[in-house]
């Protein structure tokens, strides 16, 4: 299976979401709910030429795929470093 081919995988709460193999590696890291920095995620790209922009691109597409499941990826900048965390969306009436 190539990285461009979506695979049906489980989300943290058991819902099925279609993720590419790269996105699944990101999800496997993020599903613990703890913040992970952008450099940790870049290492998962398995490409020595990968840029931080590539990480942002994958995160954007994951957010689109996770939104229907009321999930998201929060980004926070701390000390000039971007940290990402998998979160549940809070729905208020």
pTM value > 0.85: no
What DSSP character marks residue 72? E
pLDDT of residue 7: 52
Domain residue limits, the chain: 18-88
Q: Which residues of the chain have pLDDT under 50?
A: 1, 8, 12, 14
Q: Phi and psi dihedrals of 33, rounded to 5?
A: 80, -5
Q: For residue 4, what pLDDT is reported?
A: 52
Looking at CATH, the fold of the domain delimited by 18-88 is given as 3.90.1150
User: 24 in helix, strand or coil?
Assistant: helix
């Amino acid at each position: 299976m190539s990285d461009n081919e979506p695979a049906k995988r489980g989300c943290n709460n058991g819902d099925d979401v279609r993720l590419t193999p790269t996105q699944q590696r990101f999800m496997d890291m993020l599903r613990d709910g703890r913040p992970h920095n952008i450099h940790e995620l870049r290492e998962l790209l398995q490409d020595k030429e990968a840029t931080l922009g590539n990480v942002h691109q994958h995160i954007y597409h994951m957010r689109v795929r996770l939104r229907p499941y009321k999930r998201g990826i929060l980004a926070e900048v701390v000390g000039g470093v971007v940290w990402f965390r998998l979160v549940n969306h809070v729905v208020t009436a």
